[in-house]
Structure 1
Amino acid sequence: MTKTAHSYTQKTLKNLLLLSGGSCEMCRNQIIFVSDSNDQNDKQKYNICEIAHICGLNKNSARYDTSKEKESLNNADNLMVLCPSCHKKIDKPENKELYTVSKLMGLKKTFEDESIEQMIHVINKTDIGGFTPYKNGKKLVSFLEIPAEEINDLNDIKDDSICEYKELKNTILSLKDLNLTSRESLLRISEACLKDNEYELSFKYWDSAYDLTKVDILETLDSTNFIDISEFPDDSWDNPTYMQVSEDWCALLDFLKTYEIPLEQLIMQRDFSIFD
């Protein structure tokens, strides 16, 4: 019987190693290290990662499945980055009930989802390319019809319009704390609101756009005062309630519409200079 070779494309290997973050996907110990040496043999001592198959590559190997196409066994979704100890552990015959295909798939997904979230967090917290700073906000002041003579002394004025300005500014700056997934969701919600000229959406819309299992995204947007989902626990298909966009975000959407600024410029690019 001809054995299927361990042949991975460079792209597959790069993606696997990137998602591993240099750690074993099971024990999470570091398995890829940085070496200052130029000696190739010395470098290999510092890198102890191994590529493990979830569905076995050949007959008699752990978790071998005759229904799987051989061409797919070396794809990234069937591979894990492990330390030698964990690799041996999952392949031991006595552990076949403990390390099933579904169990390993679950471990892989959890680990890689966390890695992606960490990378997004780093990107979103990076000032360089992360957002364009907010300066004086003269366009926003003009939009709120605040008298010109008050512009240079905003912090000392208690007028209602000034309070609204401060609230809007806080909402704008809150975009810095939203990760990419949350901002993409806010973009879709905002697009739907502007399309219908209404600042509320049925949760049926959310379910069709995403699905209700991703309610944690809504909770994030609610806690940062972009939407209000206080009615969500009472929502039902027979008596649908609505996701209400917050007053501050409504005002900012009106600002974008007035100045004909694309939603993506504020939400995705976080270009706060549009208010200057």
Structure 2
Amino acid sequence: MIEAIGLEKTFKVPKNRGTKDRGEVADPRDQGKLFHALRGISFKCEKGRVLGMVGPNGAGKTTTLRVLSTALKPTAGRIMIDGEDFSLFPNEIRRRIGFLSGTTGLYPRLTAREMVMYFGRLHRVPQAELVERVDKLFDRFGMHGYANERNDRLSTGMKQKVNIVRTLIHDPSILIFDEPTTGLDIMSVQVLLEFIADSKRQQRTVIFSTHSLHEVEELCDEVVVIDQGVSKFHGTVPEFKRLQGSQDLTQAFMKAIGAAAPLDRLEGGAA
């Protein structure tokens, strides 16, 4: 189980740079000021459940996931994992988490296999077990054909698969995915969605951000809607649908963030 309790994250706008996560160019008058990315995010996801995180561009989804994964330290609030305060047992708890970030690059001179093996060793997976896991995951995601290709020669979809398998190699009990289907072809998307469904049956906890409400409807038990750094809704998918009094998830989303929000805010990258 993973629970976010009143998460806040504040950044200082750096000199001569924009607020990168929001894709904006900073006004010189704003440099050095505080940017409040998260303003009080609260939700939880139990073991054996899948939670979908949705929201407009720049809503705070990526920042929330990075805080949950321990890549970022919150300015305020707490993260509880399996009933334990993360801040009390950080190293032990990190080993339970697999985090797929949309911004993590691959080492260009390593091959796909070398990359995954390297991260498996970082997680101290025994060698024989590591080789077996690599083969099984490469089988599942159809990666044997380019296992020995350098990462800088792979397509966007192939690189995304390497990132996914790298995230899974230490067999984490909590999976945190930031837009995991980005760059994947239709068949690869289906393989990943089936893997998430299997992870649920294996009693893993899965949280993923997405711009696809179809993925939410197909996979998720719960939904959290984030907008302007605030969690606007958290509940089950049926409860989400009832927001608008219909089965239309798009209309429920619009209701959660405010009916005046344009639909094109759903498209593109998330922050």
Common fold, TM-score beyond 0.5? no
Flag the structure with more relative contact order, 1 or 2, with Cα contacts below 8 A and sequence separation at least 6. 2
Structure that is richer in helix per residue: 1
**What is the TM-score of this pair, normalised by structure 2?**
0.22
**What is the TM-score of this pair, normalised by structure 1?**
0.22
Greater Cα radius of gyration, structure 1 or 2: 1
